[in-house]
Amino acid sequence: MLVLSVLSGLVLAGPAVAIVSQDGTGRLPAMGWNSWNEYGCDIKDSDFIKVGELLISLGLKDVGYEYVNIDDCWSDKEKRRDPTTKEILPDEAKFPQGISHTAEVIHSLGLKLGIYSDAGTDTCGGYAGSLGYEEIDAASFSSWGVDYLKYDNCNVPTEFFDEYEYVPEGPNTDAPIGYDWGTSKTAKRYNAMRDALLKQNRTIQYSLCAWGHAHVEQWGNNTGHSWRMWGDIMPAWEGKSEWSWGLMPIVNQASFLWNATDFWGHNDWDMLEVGNGNLTIEENRSHFALWCMLKSPLIIGTRLDTIEKPILDILSNKELIAFNQDPVYGASAMPLKWGYNEDGTSDMVHPAEYWVGTSVKGLHLFMLNTQDKTVKMQVQFNSIPALRHRANAEYLVHNMWTGKDLGRFRGKIALDVAPHDTAALRITTIYGRHPRPEWTP
Ligand SMILES: *[C@@H]1O[C@H](CO)[C@@H](O)[C@H](O)[C@H]1NC(C)=O
Ligand SMILES: *[C@@H]1O[C@H](CO)[C@@H](O)[C@H](O)[C@H]1NC(C)=O
Ligand SMILES: *[C@@H]1O[C@H](CO)[C@@H](O)[C@H](O)[C@H]1NC(C)=O
Ligand SMILES: *[C@@H]1O[C@H](CO)[C@@H](O)[C@H](O)[C@H]1NC(C)=O
Ligand SMILES: *[C@@H]1O[C@H](CO)[C@@H](O)[C@H](O)[C@H]1NC(C)=O
């Protein structure tokens, strides 16, 4: 199948021309699994094949997970590149038959294979990076049968440092008003790999791992299919540890920049930690609901061979996945109000708690309890923009977690929400119709 994306479109582009491929790759948030959160560098060919088989036997492929992604540490750390062709050499101990063998088996399972590289001299783990080798590496990935590239941001040489620095966690130096971050050297490093990928005769989903630097949300849609928005995630509710962050600081950033997402280009709030660390069941649940609601890529990061039923159930929730993968409405849910804080407050413990979005099934309300105690959370229907026209009507409210209707409500909906849990609700007319299909966030 021919795959050529609209390179000419990109070159001629005004703002917001995404990498639109004929087969639809990247139109919706990617769904899959990645080795990093549980395996780190301790990876080998057979791990990925086993994961592919488990995605099928656990029913995860059936609900949409399709990418099996190799993260850092897959190449030969000593030899790095072939001395003549300069191609990156896979680690023969980890991948004895090369990456193309892994790809072949993964494809035979009806799944897709992802790989990892870095827009610097070395990856974060110190393996060969792709800066300056974009065309050679894109050609290798394509010839091996790779379908997805996560492109990291470590080890950038000084001549590629940005003129103005923007790191979302700050502090930052000020850029001139109106500065176009799409001209930054960060954008140039990522665009070089985009151009190399577009020259290949293969669709490769392009996942920018630029950590929100250089305001990637302003130019990412011209460059790739998704872009990381913050430092690394860790399996904790709040706080930070070195360069990794808990869930609430990430949701705080999303409270302000949720709107950079739409079809073909997605804010990436990082891979899922559902099932990892010391999250409670409510926190595991909130994590998944929030990432679905934000239209983030859904990349599982937990071990599948020992996965527990409650975790599998969360990752398999069809209604939340359907919201994330909606074919008609591309926008993320948006904050309706902050709740705990005054609207618009930046708070890494108590971000926006009340969110509304829309799908082909109806209007959706997500209520996140950021407090350590059970809270009665409530919303007046007349405060929801999409319902203002019929604020006094009766609505049918449905619980997306249980798949059951909660009943009819008039005036407002109020529910007790457990500490750190998220109520995920669908609101329709009492006949089950969308109350206002023309509204979007
Ligand atoms: C990204 O680009 C696509 C394709 O051009 C467009 O449909 C979408 O609205 C853009 N996203 C945003 C947030 O502007
Ligand atoms: C592109 O790949 C397809 C099959 O994947 C093949 O049929 C076609 O000949 C290739 N085109 C070029 C220009 O290599
Ligand atoms: C998102 O909202 C901000 C603040 O309102 C605005 O400056 C920005 O242009 C919006 N972005 C998009 C892609 O609509
Ligand atoms: C959330 O995930 C972690 C890891 O499996 C687990 O420790 C915690 O208990 C989970 N919640 C469950 C399964 O209730
Ligand atoms: C979870 O782990 C983090 C960091 O390891 C720790 O700060 C926090 O207290 C732990 N939470 C619980 C509930 O054990």
Express each pLDDT in 87-143 by its tens digit: 999 999 999 999 999 999 999 999 999 999 999 999 999 999 999 999 999 999 999
Is the CB of 26 within 6 Å of ligand 1? no
C-alpha 111 – ligand 4 centre gap (Å): 27
Is the CB of 344 within 6 Å of ligand 3? no
pLDDT of residue 170: 87
pLDDT of residue 222: 95
76, 152, 162, 262: the active-site residue: 152
**Atom 7 in ligand 4: which residue has the minimum CA distance?**
278
The average pLDDT across 177-203 equals 96
Q: Where are the beta strands (DSSP E) in 265-411?
A: 266-268, 298-300, 334-337, 354-359, 362-368, 375-380, 394-399, 404-410
Name the H helices within 164-298: 185-198, 216-223, 247-257, 281-293
Q: In what order do the strands lie in the sheet with 244-245?
A: 232-233, 244-245, 240-241
152 is catalytic: yes
User: Out of 5-9, 208-212, 336-340, which region has the weakest mean confidence (pLDDT)?
Assistant: 5-9
pLDDT of residue 16: 38
Candidate from 216, 229, 258, 259 with most ligand 3 atoms within 8 A of CB, to mutate: 259
pLDDT of residue 17: 45
421 is catalytic: no
| Mean pLDDT, all residues of the chain | 94
pLDDT of residue 174: 82
What domains are there in the chain, each with its CATH number? 2-324 (3.20.20.70), 335-429 (2.60.40.1180)
Residue whose C-alpha is closest to residue 378's, from 339, 335, 435, 408: 339
**Nearest atom (ligand 1) to Cα of 221:** 1
Express each pLDDT in 297-308 by its tens digit: 999 999 999 999
C-alpha 270 – ligand 1 centre gap (Å): 20
Is the CB of 264 within 6 Å of ligand 1? yes
Residues in contact with 29: Cβ distance below 8 Å, sequence separation at least 6, in sequence order: 226, 266, 295, 296, 297, 298, 324, 325
Is the CB of 17 within 6 Å of ligand 1? yes
pLDDT of residue 2: 32
Is the CB of 308 within 6 Å of ligand 4? yes
Q: Give the span between the Cα atoms of 14 and 33, in whole angstroms.
A: 34
User: Out of 7-16, 195-204, 328-337, 415-424, which region has the weakest mean confidence (pLDDT)?
Assistant: 7-16
Q: Give the span between the Cα atoms of 316 and 48, in whole angstroms.
A: 20
| Whole-number percent of the chain with pLDDT over 70 | 96
Q: Give the span between the Cα atoms of 261 and 279, in whole angstroms.
A: 27
